[in-house]
Structure 1
Amino acid sequence: MFGPFGNFPIKKPEIRTVTLKKKITVPVSRNKPADAKSARAKSHATSSLRKSSAPASLQLVKNGTDSRSSSPLKRSADSTLSLAGSSKKRKASAPVVQKFSDSEDTSESDDADLSPERVRVKSSTDSLPPDVGREIWTINKNKEANAKEEDDTGLIHGKRLVKRDKDAAYKSAFPSEENIATLELRYPGSAKPERFSLVEPVEHDGYKPLEDILETIERVLTHYFPASLSSRYLDDSTGIVRRLKRAIHHRDLPKFRAVLTEYDTLIRNSLSSSITTHLTSQHHLPLPLIERILSQIYARTVSPQVSLLRDYENGTDNVYGELLPRFSHQIFAVTGLNSSHTFVDLGSGVGNVVLQAALETGAESWGIEMMPNPCKLGEAQAAEFPLRCRKWGIRPGKVTLVQGDFLTSPAIDTVLRRADVVLVNNQAFLPTLNDKLIMKFLDLKDGCRIVSLKSFVDEGHRIQARNIEDPRNVLTNVKRLEYWSGSVSWTDQGGSYFVAVKDSSMVREATERMRKRARAS
């Protein structure tokens, strides 16, 4: 044998064994531990209790002042769209709520270490803790009687999405039919069904109506019925979804319609019984259901114009990237966001996280974005959001999207003073912008959580006499956590993010100690 750096002989290793008293021989293991399988998280694309208002309405807020208009929405330099609620991949792991102390221990030393503390988030379920103060469901027993009064004008039906997608080619999903077949799909929260065309995209990346129908039915049967009934309706052999898939496989339109009619009747008859009874005990929304609703909205508003999001300049603060639903869910869990809180996303893009916060937690949710193309698509999502939530029988939190600069927006300045959780995707921000944001954080109330992809507090930063005026000193209890593969749009790799707590008490205490020491000397 020879070494890797020359022809120098290497003595052949000897394998020794160790014999215990029980005469059990244990060989020295030279096997490497098996690599953990990587798993990609599925993607698609804090204080009084507050109830969101319904029905939903759109408002345009300019410079922090509400104004209403029946004309198409127009943006100003700082305009607000307000929506009243109606390397190795890391293994995916959902988080539990990470508890933060309101203040850190302080010693007699003038120095206080504010360095980020690394925290590993443990796994949990796909649901946040129950929020008993939130009224989630809007489902009632009189949907049929209220059908004529229900206004879903503006809802983008699956059929309409196919018709307006001029860049995609579709073919009939049931070729034996002379004309392209259409159908209506019932939702548990609405008497008016959604219309679909039974077609398939010629290209793989197009909108898939049949997939949309099947996944929607599966989510309804899974989450709107008790487990005893759900398991029957989703049986792998005789369940509704299984029989629909079988009909599609055999291109059997009559059979497909028959099973769909069975589903429609089931939903209609269950609204006054099993569905309503089951939902009254549910005080949270499962992540798979949230992902389905958000996916429907995104597919109807952003996906057809997704090319607009590629129009940005690298090397600037305005680089576009999205946090995916599972990562947003993790952030809500770690910060303990709920319906009594206010959430603000600084640099909200197309509004994905803002909508998810309102839907999943019921929190009053704000977002601000300055790039025009993401703002345009965010406005489209905000318009579809309450209509889609109504279909599912869910009352979300209030949503407000602002177009403008988060450093100078009066509306954002006002809401930041009462915010409980602030999110900043500062992955691509330049240092100068991060410094300006730190100054904005001085206006946050104590106890507010700041979530960022880059820490605003440097490693090794301490409160000392020479830096007592540093604004970073109010960002305390900094935690460094991990997000997993499938969490962000710009990479499939995992990474780190940071959660800090705004707390001015440490600076006050350090200042008082310095004064006492100065008087004593």
Structure 2
Amino acid sequence: MLSAPSRRVITSTSILEPGQSWFSKTTKPPSPPVVTVVTRVVRKPAPPKPPVSSSPASKPSAPASVASSSSLSSLSPESSPDASQKKRKQANASLKDSVASSAAKKRRVDDKPSITLTKAPTKKPKKKTPNDDDDYGRVRSKPSVHIPEQVFRYSRSRSTTAFDQNDAPRERKTWSDEDGAVGDGLITSESVIKGLMGSYKAYFRNPRDLSDKSFEPHPTDYPFVDLEYPNDNASERFMLLEPKDKDHYNPIMCLEQSLHTIVQHYLTPEQKLLFGTLPEESLLSPGRSTSSQSFSSPPCSQSSTSTSATDSSSSLTSLSTESSPSRGSPSPSANLLRTLNRAIHLRDGPLFVSTMKRINELMQSLKHPESTTNPLRAVPRSWSKTGIPQKVMLRIIEETYQRCIGPHVAELRRYSAFSSEVYGELTPYLVSEILRETGITDNPSKCGEGKLFLDLGSGVGNVVLQAALQSGCRAFGVEIMEHPARLAGVQLEQMKMRCRMWGVDMGEVELVRGDMTACPRLDELISQADVLLVNNFVFKEELNNALRSKFLDLKEGAMVVSLKPFAPPSNNQRLTERNIDDIAVAIFDVASRPYHSGTVSWSSGSGNYYLHRVDREGYRESRMQFERAQSAGRRRTATRKL
């Protein structure tokens, strides 16, 4: 009997990097004796994960900005801006190092020579059958195995709100320490109509003297009334004319809306009785609430004012049969607000003027009692926990816009088509919703003081000013176009005066003119931003790419709001070998929110805006899951080949 062939055992040692797997396949040995290779695998310990900085970024100091119309003085440093930016760069560098390390490991695995395990065949090869040959006698080849690209779908189960929803309620300064004496710099309703006298016509008449021309337009002798505002020494003059175009600014309706807002939010129930009944309390149809009208249309469109005028006039029809004081001399017990509405409905000029005179006298008596200080001025202090009422905020925004921007809307629409400098606005309703969604004003009991809001491409400053007024946050805007940037500076100064007249306080605002991709002041503030808004609806891809690189400096948890997404929404986002290394996109946890028709100026339709939350830790976890899925896929592929 022949002896069995001798066997030699060869032991080799191979070092595997973390994440590598052992693959083997069997080939036919060239000749006996059989050589069995036993491989001992020694795994290197995985390197420790790079540390992730979870502490919030420090707040840098705010250097003076020559181009700004107001400085962010509250940006007092807890640490230097260089330290904050250094932390951000270290976090991004660690991500890049992780990406580079993974890529290097993959290359090492691919470059290593394969080790073949061989053994004696135990089965005889299968005999070829006729079915294995085609009609021409050629052997059919087995189909090749197609290995699809590994795709990993993921959704970060994290909140898309930048700020902790469980923060303790925090009060903000809602009141002004200054009186309402704003000087000659205020742009009043009267001054606006003076510059546009040719586009206005008479609204009132004297029903007892049809030859009376005192209510007709005139360069100097025009009809007017004053309105007392809540703060000391605060009043404004309104011209009693109506626009020839119903969509233009209507001073009579503006006066009535401001008066109603003062009565509703600054007076006690006992004081309200002295003025009478507000229309929304008794005349509005059932189911129609005033809150739904607060953000009914953008301030750039005066159609909301005209609609209000129509509603007021139609609702007053039922008053024509009611008892009323004698024309021109309302009695002390008269319902002054109803009388004023009746005068508007009947176009009775003398009745309107005399009623407004009585209202102003009553308002002055409330503002200047003999024994105490102005109680109306103290009312905004009670809003420190709840925030400025929405209707008060809206009136300040609309009054400012109508006087500063309204006369220049036609000029703002002159821009280069198909460029990144197309002018467009978000309405106050949409801005208010964005501020809630991002957490700056997510709860009435919370405020935005201490938070920083940035607007890239701020236009005339509407969003920046509303953010500062609504939440008390610090706000910064940069705009490249000269005309909108100039109007933004005017609107900022006028809103400060308006806030003083209403006795309220707004957050600090800084507006600069410049290119958002090369603005030194923006580079200083972006690492401290809590919310960054960019209306990139018509931005070119080159500009969007330039902004993506800037977003790497945002702190963890910061929010980017845009009209076009910088990364796919998280429920549709996929990690593949093509985009896994794109940190500027992958660090975002993205959610979409709908906006309704009439909330943007460039379209009457609806659409979506996008919330991007910086989530570097979530990206690390998702990348680890992706790599594990890739590794498992490679093992399954190797097994199939065996």
TM-score normalized with structure 2 length: 0.58
Name the structure 2 match of 1:153. Answer: 184
8 Å CA contact retained: 1:485, 1:492? yes
Q: What do residues 451-497 of structure 1 show as CA deviations (whole Å, max 9, x unaligned)?
A: 11111112543345654431344543311111112211112222111
Determine the C-alpha separation between the residues in 2 that align with 1:484 and 1:382.
28
8 Å CA contact retained: 2:480, 2:515? yes
Structure-2 change in CA distance of 1:278 and 1:297 (3 Å): closer
The Cα of 1:390 is off from its aligned counterpart by 0.9
Q: Does 1:496 align with 2:495?
A: no
Larger-Rg structure: 2
Name the structure 2 match of 1:481. Answer: 593
Determine the C-alpha separation between the residues in 2 that align with 1:234 and 1:118.
45
Structure-2 change in CA distance of 1:360 and 1:508 (3 Å): same
Secondary structure of the residue aligned to 1:499 is strand
8 Å CA contact retained: 1:137, 1:395? yes
Secondary structure of the residue aligned to 1:319 is coil
Determine the C-alpha separation between the residues in 1 that align with 2:231 and 2:595.
34
Determine the C-alpha separation between the residues in 2 that align with 1:510 and 1:66.
41
Highest RCO, 1 vs 2 (Cα 8 Å, sep ≥ 6): 1
- Residue of 312, 316, 323 corresponding to 2:419: 316
Name the structure 1 match of 2:342. Answer: 246
- What residue identity is the alignment partner of 2:173? E
Q: Does 1:173 align with 2:269?
A: no
Q: What do residues 420-444 of structure 1 show as CA deviations (whole Å, max 9, x unaligned)?
A: 0111111111222222211110011
Name the structure 2 match of 1:430. Answer: 540
The Cα of 1:268 is off from its aligned counterpart by 2.9
- Residue of 116, 130, 133 corresponding to 2:171: 133
- What residue identity is the alignment partner of 1:293? I
8 Å CA contact retained: 1:139, 1:276? no
Name the structure 2 match of 1:462. Answer: 574
The Cα of 1:306 is off from its aligned counterpart by 1.1
Q: Does 1:304 align with 2:423?
A: no
Structure-2 change in CA distance of 1:240 and 1:476 (3 Å): farther
Determine the C-alpha separation between the residues in 2 that align with 1:278 and 1:451.
34
Name the structure 2 match of 1:331. Answer: 434
- Report the more deviating stretch, 252-261 or 308-317: 252-261
Structure-2 change in CA distance of 1:118 and 1:445 (3 Å): closer
Following TM superposition, the consecutive aligned residue runs of length 4 or more in structure 1 with deviations greater than 6 angstroms are: 83-86, 115-119, 511-519
- What residue identity is the alignment partner of 1:446? E
Structure-2 change in CA distance of 1:151 and 1:289 (3 Å): closer
Q: What do residues 367-424 of structure 1 show as CA deviations (whole Å, max 9, x unaligned)?
A: 1111222212222211211011111111001111111111110001111111101111
8 Å CA contact retained: 1:420, 1:448? yes
Name the structure 1 match of 2:239. Answer: 197
- Residue of 381, 388, 392 corresponding to 1:280: 381
The Cα of 1:359 is off from its aligned counterpart by 1.0
Secondary structure of the residue aligned to 1:196 is strand
Structure-2 change in CA distance of 1:375 and 1:273 (3 Å): closer
1:21-420 equivalence runs, <5 A: 65-67=64-66, 79-82=67-70, 113=154, 132-138=170-176, 150-165=181-196, 168-171=199-202, 173-174=204-205, 176-178=212-214, 179-226=221-268, 230=272, 233-236=276-279, 239-271=335-367, 272=373, 275=376, 278-282=379-383, 283-337=386-440, 338-420=448-530
Q: What do residues 158-183 of structure 1 show as CA deviations (whole Å, max 9, x unaligned)?
A: 11111122552433634535342222
The Cα of 1:207 is off from its aligned counterpart by 2.7
- Report the more deviating stretch, 219-228 or 509-518: 509-518
8 Å CA contact retained: 1:85, 1:386? no
8 Å CA contact retained: 2:225, 2:356? no
The Cα of 1:83 is off from its aligned counterpart by 6.3
- What residue identity is the alignment partner of 2:226? E
Determine the C-alpha separation between the residues in 2 that align with 1:328 and 1:183.
33
8 Å CA contact retained: 1:457, 1:475? no
Name the structure 2 match of 1:91. Answer: none
Structure-2 change in CA distance of 1:174 and 1:442 (3 Å): same
8 Å CA contact retained: 1:185, 1:193? yes
Structure-2 change in CA distance of 1:309 and 1:451 (3 Å): same
- Runs of 5+ unmatched residues, structure 1: 1-46, 51-60, 68-78, 87-108, 120-128
Q: What do residues 247-306 of structure 1 show as CA deviations (whole Å, max 9, x unaligned)?
A: 233344443233223322343343457645654332312333222211111111111111
Determine the C-alpha separation between the residues in 1 that align with 2:374 and 2:497.
24
Secondary structure of the residue aligned to 1:66 is coil
- What residue identity is the alignment partner of 1:199? L
Q: What do residues 286-345 of structure 1 show as CA deviations (whole Å, max 9, x unaligned)?
A: 333222211111111111111111111222211111100000000011111122211011
Between Structure 1 and Structure 2, which shows a larger proportion of helix residues? 2
Query: How much is the aligned-residue C-alpha RMSD, in angstroms?
Result: 3.7
Name the structure 1 match of 2:327. Answer: none
Determine the C-alpha separation between the residues in 2 that align with 1:418 and 1:404.
20
- What residue identity is the alignment partner of 2:70? S
Determine the C-alpha separation between the residues in 1 that align with 2:374 and 2:611.
44
- What residue identity is the alignment partner of 1:479? A
Determine the C-alpha separation between the residues in 1 that align with 2:425 and 2:620.
38
Secondary structure of the residue aligned to 1:505 is helix
Structure-2 change in CA distance of 1:139 and 1:404 (3 Å): closer
- Runs of 5+ unmatched residues, structure 2: 1-55, 75-149, 161-166, 207-211, 215-220, 280-318, 320-333, 368-372, 441-447, 636-642
- What residue identity is the alignment partner of 1:234? T
Q: What do residues 39-78 of structure 1 show as CA deviations (whole Å, max 9, x unaligned)?
A: xxxxxxxx89x9xxxxxxxxxx9xx7434xxxxxxxxxxx
8 Å CA contact retained: 1:347, 1:424? yes
Q: What do residues 137-163 of structure 1 show as CA deviations (whole Å, max 9, x unaligned)?
A: 2278xx5xxx7xx34331011111111
Percent identity, aligned pairs only?
31
Between Structure 1 and Structure 2, which shows a larger proportion of strand residues? 1
8 Å CA contact retained: 2:587, 2:619? no
8 Å CA contact retained: 1:345, 1:353? yes
8 Å CA contact retained: 2:174, 2:381? no
Secondary structure of the residue aligned to 2:226 is strand
- Report the more deviating stretch, 167-176 or 280-289: 167-176
Name the structure 1 match of 2:131. Answer: none
Structure-2 change in CA distance of 1:484 and 1:239 (3 Å): farther
Secondary structure of the residue aligned to 1:345 is strand
The Cα of 1:512 is off from its aligned counterpart by 6.8
